[in-house]
Amino acid sequence: MVAFATNCRTTVDQQITMLPKSLALIDDDIEYTEYLSQHLTDLGIRVDVFADSNDLLANSEAYTYDFYVVDLMLPGIDGVDLIKVIRRRSDSGLLVASGRLAPDVFEQAIGAGADMYLAKPVQFEQVTLAIKAVQRRIATTNPTTVAWKLDRRAAQLVAPDGARVDLSDTDMVLVECFLEANGEVVSRESLRQRLGRSVDDAATDGLNAMIYRLRRRIERTTPSIVPLQSKSRVGYVFRAALKLV
């Protein structure tokens, strides 16, 4: 009886680990999102609902979710374009659940970067199974184990695909901070101190602009997912392995 109970508990634990901790649900069907979000919340997932794709993109934590469920017919930018934007900043699981009717809709969604496509109407249990399937695949591939590298001598950040991003003096300071943090969040205060900026004058120190320019420089150089992400009201984190050449 004890062995049976232990095996049951192990099975439950394995099922729980297949589910993401946080999920962004981007869909303008109010009734559908209300019930789906409640269903997923009951499973222990923190769910944030966005009825407009622009609302997600304007959110300071837009690229920090562990999973995304996206409709293709959205106010704001189109769902396919939204997937492309998310994929520039995040390698999290992404499921499309949409009622869009078009002969090439599946090809468009997968080509943009979705992991799986479900055609509406779809049962909530099917959504849950799809999320678990994507999570299993992510766990086996684990792309975050592929390291980025900092070449101090050349003042360049080397992407996993070998592309080299030229870094300014300010960029070097920022990347050095992320290197030392070893995957942990670096507070805004710490970054300001390293940059020699006034901690008391956060509104005009230009830190957000510096991070934005660094992200854009990386995006223009490599198609690799940019692992530099913000943590609302806390700081920034480099969500990938980073080491010296």
Per-residue pLDDT of the chain (245 residues; tens, 9 = 90+): 434 343 444 344 444 457 999 999 999 999 999 999 999 999 999 999 999 999 999 998 899 899 999 999 999 999 999 999 999 888 899 999 998 888 889 999 999 999 999 999 999 999 999 999 998 887 665 544 468 999 999 999 999 888 999 999 999 999 999 999 998 999 999 999 999 876 555 554 688 899 999 999 999 998 878 888 888 778 999 988 899 98
Give the orientation angle of helix 124-141 with respect to helix 30-42, to 10 degrees.
60
Q: How far is CA 73 from each of CA 137, 141, 153, rounded to the nearest angstrom?
A: 27, 30, 48
Q: Are 36 and 127 in contact (CB under 8 A)?
A: yes
Displacement of CA 242 from its chain's centroid (Å): 17
CATH entry 3.30.110.70 includes domain 145-244:
no
DSSP strand pairing (228-231 vs 186-187): unpaired
pTM, 2 dp: 0.64
What are the residue boundaries of the structural domains of the chain, listed by start?
2-141, 145-244
Lookup: tokens for 117: 């496509």
- Tell me, what's the pLDDT at 91? 85
b/e burial code for range 13-38 (CB count within 10 A of at least 16 → b): eeeeebbbeebbbbbbeeebbeebbe
CA separation, residue 160 to residues 18, 74, 144, 226, 240 (Å): 26, 33, 10, 11, 10
Instruction: Look at the domain 2-141 and name its fold.
Output: Rossmann fold (3.40.50)
